[in-house]
Amino acid sequence: MAAALEKLGTPFSWGGGATTGATLGIGRGAHTTGFDCSGLTLYAWSKAGVHLAHYTGTQFRQGHRVALNDLHPGDLLFFGGGTGDPTHVGLYLDHGLMIHAPKTGDVVRTTRFIDSPYYRPRYRGATRPT
């Protein structure tokens, strides 16, 4: 979590982020150095020696499922996507807070997802990478 928290305020960049930190993205992020949501999570977990793919849908299938009432700091939280792959991922902090890279034009930030009128209805589940 410390690695992700050090990146608070870093710009969102579509396709940005690697084990080494913020990178230039692709497409909409081609001119911005930063992180997209899965780039931030793969960066943070790499500091703990865990490899994650740079795609939210793949990260959703990595690790073990965790119930909402059993979340630990660092667990991956997934949102959106209907019945397909989730479209967003964040890292659980504690007390209903997550850290994430939300969208183009935004920055890495914390958000209270647990009772958010936007994120809570889009919550798809959580995993604990191993």
Selecting among 37, 51, 54, 64, the annotated active-site residue is: 37
Greater pLDDT, 130 or 64? 64
Single out the catalytic residue among 51, 72, 95, 100. 100
Domain-wise residue ranges, the chain: 2-128
CATH number, domain 2-128, options 2.60.130.10, 3.90.1720.10, 3.30.70.260, 3.30.450.40: 3.90.1720.10
Over the stretch 94-110, which tens digit does the pLDDT of each residue have? 999 999 999 999 999 99
On the question of pLDDT at 130 being above 90, the answer is: no
| Tens digit of each residue's pLDDT (9 = 90 or more) over 12-53 | 999 999 999 999 999 989 999 999 999 999 999 999 999 999
Determine which one of 54, 64, 88, 95 is catalytic.
Answer: 88
Closest by Cα among 85, 92, 84 to 112 = 92
Strand order in the sheet with 88-94: 64-66, 123-128, 76-79, 88-94, 97-100, 109-112
Q: Is 88 an active-site residue?
A: yes
Tell me, yes or no, if 54 is annotated catalytic: no
pLDDT digits (tens, 9 = 90+) for 57-88: 999 999 999 999 999 999 999 999 988 999 99
Q: Judge whether 37 counts as a catalytic residue.
A: yes
